[in-house]
Each structure stands twice: as structure tokens, then as C-alpha cells.
Structure 1
Amino acid sequence: MQTVMINHLYWDIAANIYFPPGFDNQKTYPAIISAHPIGSCKEQTSGNVYGEALAKEGFVVIAFDASFQGESGGEPRYIEDPTLRVEDFRVVTDYLVTLPYVDENRIGVLGICGGGGYAINAAMTERRIKVVGTVTGANYGRLMREGFSNYDPIAALEAMAQQRTAEARGEAVRVDDLLPASPEEAKQNGLTETDLFGATEYYRSPRGRAPNGVNRSLFSHQAVAVGWDAFHLAEVLLTQPLMVVVGDKVGAFGAYRDGCEVIGRAASKKKELVVVEGWSHYDLYDKPEPVSQALAKLVPFYKENL
């Protein structure tokens, strides 16, 4: 594995590159951009699970930290802006096409959770991305208009506007911690819904904890997400081969619903919805059995289309 810094507008994106066995930099390889979930980082599921597994199958995989998050630059910290998240894909693609060992005509993308929604949206207008795969992909804009704003997006926008004005006048920034501190605390507070508890169990325990997987969000900069839709114009612009992997244990974050929606809407002639039975959103992050089922479909999909 190699860690690199990729220049963005006025900051750098941090990324880990995973190489196939017997890698030879005199040869060319297909490449996959692996995008982490909301509040996650490249050292979690996008890199250490799917990145490593796809590299073992012959792909160069680059897992990157979103701008303003993880080891990537950008101030203020913890911005979750879909427009900037999508631009990250273009910048990473710019970097890949400069590498002599990457075949510029064989670049695909894999997005997990919110990274899946971003990957789909990026591929619509970034035509250097030839293949799209998602694992329990979610439309972050829909989440912001629904559960993440208590189903009152206008009130949320008003609060964001007030907070941004306060910060512009020098008051303290508001950074929201999106999860309970531990699975035990979640249980004590009755926060046992499948996806919310699954997220806590993954991010707030040794199972998935990583220094940069902090699940924090700068509240004053969330307004763009409320008005954003990952699948806008999918009927016209999403034409690449598409594979969407979801679990059938449905939770509040809505990946199953989003997966069904984008498969129905995509203009892609080759598209497949893969339902991993008996497993939930966060099971697909790292648990060996559901991950192996996902990879059993994704690996041949990428090999055939890249």
C-alpha cells in the first residue's frame, strides 16, 4: 500500500493506493476508486475491506478521504457538502490518469453508504468513470430531507442559516457528533433501531473504530445537502454498467429503498440489483459472510466491464 496526497483546489486529498499481487509498474492495470461512507475514512470499509479485496483480484484501488475530513485538507473541518464530495472523484480521477500503470480507459468506482450516492452522482458527468458499483449506497440528500432533519427540512435550513450567521460574526462553530459514544450508551437511551445501532456498533467499538472515522458534521454547512439529490438525471446521464448491492434487513437509513430506486431510474443498459439476504446495512461494511457475498458479485462485474 502507498499513501499519496493529491492536490485539490487549495488543499490536498489523502489517499491510500492498494496494489495487486506481483504488481509491476511497467504494466497497466484497471483501477477502482473506493469512496467511504458519511463520517468515515479511507482506513475503514472502503480501504481495509473492499479496497484490499479488490486489489487482490488484480485491480489498482485508490481509497481516499473526503475533503475537509480524515487526513485530507480543507478548512473548516467536518464539512459534508455533496458538491465538494462529487468533485473529489474528479480530482482523484485526474490523479489516476497521470499514473503510467493505470489504464485510463478502465477506471471504475465503488461507493459505500453515502459514498455510493456520491459515486453514482459523480459518474453521471465524469465520463472517465466507466463502471459503477455501490455497497449499501444511500442518497444523502434524501436522508437530509427526511430522517436527518426530523422530516422538517425547512426548519433545519432556517436553523442552519442562523448558525452560519452566528459563526460569520465570530461565535463558536457547531460540530454535531452524529452517534452515541458507545453501543452500551445507545442501548441505555433506547437507540436500538437497526441502522442507528449498527452504525454505533461499527464506529464506536473496536470492530470498526479508526482515528479519523469520527462521524462529525459542521452544522452550518449542511444546507447544500438538503437541496441535493444523488440520483438527479439518472434517467438521462447514468449510462455506465451499474451494480447495486444491498442487504434485505431494512433500516432507517434507507439504502434498500435507494438501491431499488436508482436501479429503476438508471439509463444503464447493464444494471443489476444484488440483495444479500439476511444482512443489514452495517453488516455489509466488514462482516466476512455478507462481504464475501457482495464481492462474489462485484469482482466478476468489474472484471467483465473493466
Structure 2
Amino acid sequence: MKTVTFKNKHVDVAANIHFPPGFDPAQKYPAIVSAHPVGSCKEQTSGSVYGKAFAEAGFVVLAFDAAFQAGSGGEPRQLEDATWRVEDFRCAADYLVTLDYVDEDRIGVFGMCAGGGYTWAAAMTERRFKAVATVTGVNLGRLLRQGDMSPDAAVRTLEAISAQRTVEARGGEQRLDSSLPPSVEKAKELGMVPPLHIDVAEATEYYKTPRGAHPNGTNLWSFSSMAPTVWFDAYHLADKLLTQPLLLVVGNKPGEFGAYRDAFEVFDKAASQDKEVLVIPGVSHYDLYDKPEAVGPALDALIPFFNKHL
């Protein structure tokens, strides 16, 4: 593995390149760009689990941290702006085509959770991506607009964001929100337990315990930066522009983040002629992050998919 940076405009984006066994820089390899979940980092599931597995299967893998987050540069910190997030993917492709050992005609893209939603959006306009796969992908814009399920949830969220921008424009403190309770114990105290809150409960168990915790996986976002993401729709124009081969992997235990419904929605909308939803029985959203009984079947589909199309 090698640590590198590439540019998204003026921001240095941190990434790890995972190499295949017996890597020879004089050869040409297919490559995969791997994107992390919201609030995560390249050292967690997108790199250490899936990125590593793809590399072991013969691909050069570029697992990157979103600009303004984790090991990447950019101020203000913890920006969660869908426009920047999607541009990260295009810049990752720019970087890969400068590497002599990458076959520019065999680049695929992979994303998890909200990184999966950004993957769908990026693939629509980045035609260097020849195959698209996601695991438990989520349309974060849809999730944020949904809010507490009330009819005016999205508007109230945008009004609160606007008010916070005013605070910060006048020199007030940046507001950093977390999508999760600070501990498993606190989640239970708040009643964030399965089955109603399966995603929050299991996300807390992944991110807030030694199972998956990493200093860069903060699960924090700048609240004032969220307006473009509330507006964002990972499905927009999929019926016209998402034409690449598409594989969508989800578990059959739906959670409140909505990955199960999003997989079928993007499947229905996508213009891809070669497309599939793989539903893994007995598996939840966060099982797919690192549990062998979930990751194994996912990789059994993902690796042949990328081998076929790259």
C-alpha cells in the first residue's frame, strides 16, 4: 500500500493505493476508485475491507478521504457538501490516468453507504468509470430531506442551516453535528435499539468501539455546509446518464437509513442495460461493513462483476 495525495481544486485529497500481489509497475492494471461512507475514512471499510479485497483480486485500488474530512485538507473541516463529494471522484479519475500502471480504459468505481449514493451521481458524468458497484448505498439527499418524516422536514432543515450560516458569518462558533450517539451505552439509553433503530444502533457499535473505530472516522459534519446535500439527489437523471454496468448489494434487513429502498429505486431508474440488485439474506447495513458472513457473499459478486467489466 502507498499513501498519496491528489488535488480537488486547491484541496489536497488523501488516498491510499492498494496494490495487487506481485505488483509490477511496468504492467497495466484495471483500477477501482473506492469511496467511504459519510463520516468515515479510507482506513475503515472502503479501504481496509473492500479496497484490500479488490487489490488481492488483481486491481489497483484508490481509496480516498473526502475533501475537508479525515486525512484530506480543506477548510472548514468536516464539510459535507455533495458538490465537492462528487467532484472528488472525478479528481480521483484524473489522478489514476496519470499513473503508467493503470489502464485508463479499465477504471471502475465503488462506494458504500452515502459514498454509494455519491458513486451513482459521479458515474453519470464521469465516463471514465466503466463499471459501477455499491454496497448498501444511500441517497443522502433523500435521507436528509426525509428528516423526521414530517411534510415540511426539508424546509425546516434548510431554515436551520441558513440560521447557522448567519451565526458563523458573524464570527460565531462552527456547529459540528454527529449522526450517532457517543457510545453504545448512550444509544441504548436513548432507545436507539433494533429493530426500529437498527442502523443507528449498529453504526454506533461499529464506529464507537474497537470493532471499527478510527481517529479519522469522526462521524461529524459541519451543519452549515449541508444545504447543497439536502438539495442533492443521487438518482437525478439516472434514467438518461447512468448507463454503465451496475451492481447494487444490500442486506435484506431494511434500516432507517434506507439503503434497501434506495437500491431498488436506483435499479428501476438506471438506464444501464446490465444491472442487478443482490440482496443478501439475514444481513443488515452494518453487517456489510466488516462481518465475514456478509462481506464474503458481497465480494463473491463484486469481484466477478469487476473482472467481467474491467
Measured against the shorter chain, the TM-score band is over 0.9
User: How far off its partner does 1:149 sit?
Assistant: 8.0
User: How far off its partner does 1:261 sit?
Assistant: 0.5
1:44-99, Cα deviation, whole Å (9 max, x unpaired): 00000000001000000010000000000110001111110000001110000000
Mapped partners of 1:21, 1:114: distance in 2: 30
1:252-296, Cα deviation, whole Å (9 max, x unpaired): 000000000011110000000000110000000000111000000
How many residue pairs end up in the alignment? 306
Contact 2:8 / 2:87 at 8 angstroms: preserved in 1?
no
Equivalent AA in structure 2 for residue 45 of structure 1: T
TM-score under structure 2 length normalisation: 0.97
Mapped partners of 1:27, 1:149: distance in 2: 52
Equivalent AA in structure 2 for residue 287 of structure 1: K
TM-score under structure 1 length normalisation: 0.99
Contact 2:147 / 2:154 at 8 angstroms: preserved in 1?
no
Pick one of 199, 209, 219 that aligns with 1:215. Answer: 219
Match of 1:130, SS state, is strand
Mapped partners of 1:262, 1:12: distance in 2: 31
Match of 2:281, SS state, is strand
The answer to whether 1:265 aligns with 2:269 is yes
Q: Percent of aligned positions with the same letter in both sequences?
A: 60
Indicate the larger mover: 139-148 or 203-212.
139-148
Q: Which residue of 2 is the match for residue 91 of structure 1?
A: 91
Match of 1:298, SS state, is helix
**Structure 1 unmatched runs, 5+:** none
Mapped partners of 1:168, 1:82: distance in 2: 21
User: How far off its partner does 1:182 sit?
Assistant: 1.0
How does 1:64-79 map onto structure 2 within 5 Å?
Answer: 64-79=64-79
Mapped partners of 2:150, 2:226: distance in 1: 14
Moved over 4 A (4+): 148-151
Indicate the larger mover: 176-185 or 124-133.
176-185
Q: Which residue of 1 is the match for residue 188 of structure 2?
A: 187
How does 1:133-282 map onto structure 2 within 5 Å?
Answer: 133-147=133-147, 152-192=153-193, 193-282=197-286
1:144-183, Cα deviation, whole Å (9 max, x unpaired): 1013786611111111101101101111111112211111
Contact 1:149 / 1:156 at 8 angstroms: preserved in 2?
no
How does 1:30-41 map onto structure 2 within 5 Å?
Answer: 30-41=30-41
Mapped partners of 2:234, 2:83: distance in 1: 10
Mapped partners of 1:146, 1:61: distance in 2: 34
Mapped partners of 1:70, 1:181: distance in 2: 18
Mapped partners of 2:222, 2:94: distance in 1: 28
Q: Which residue of 2 is the match for residue 302 of structure 1?
A: 306
Contact 2:247 / 2:278 at 8 angstroms: preserved in 1?
yes
Equivalent AA in structure 2 for residue 304 of structure 1: K
Mapped partners of 2:42, 2:200: distance in 1: 21
**Structure 2 unmatched runs, 5+:** none
CA 167–149 in structure 1, closer or farther in 2 if over 3 Å, else same: farther
User: How far off its partner does 1:8 sit?
Assistant: 2.0
CA-based RMSD: 1.0
Mapped partners of 1:87, 1:11: distance in 2: 11
Mapped partners of 1:233, 1:23: distance in 2: 38
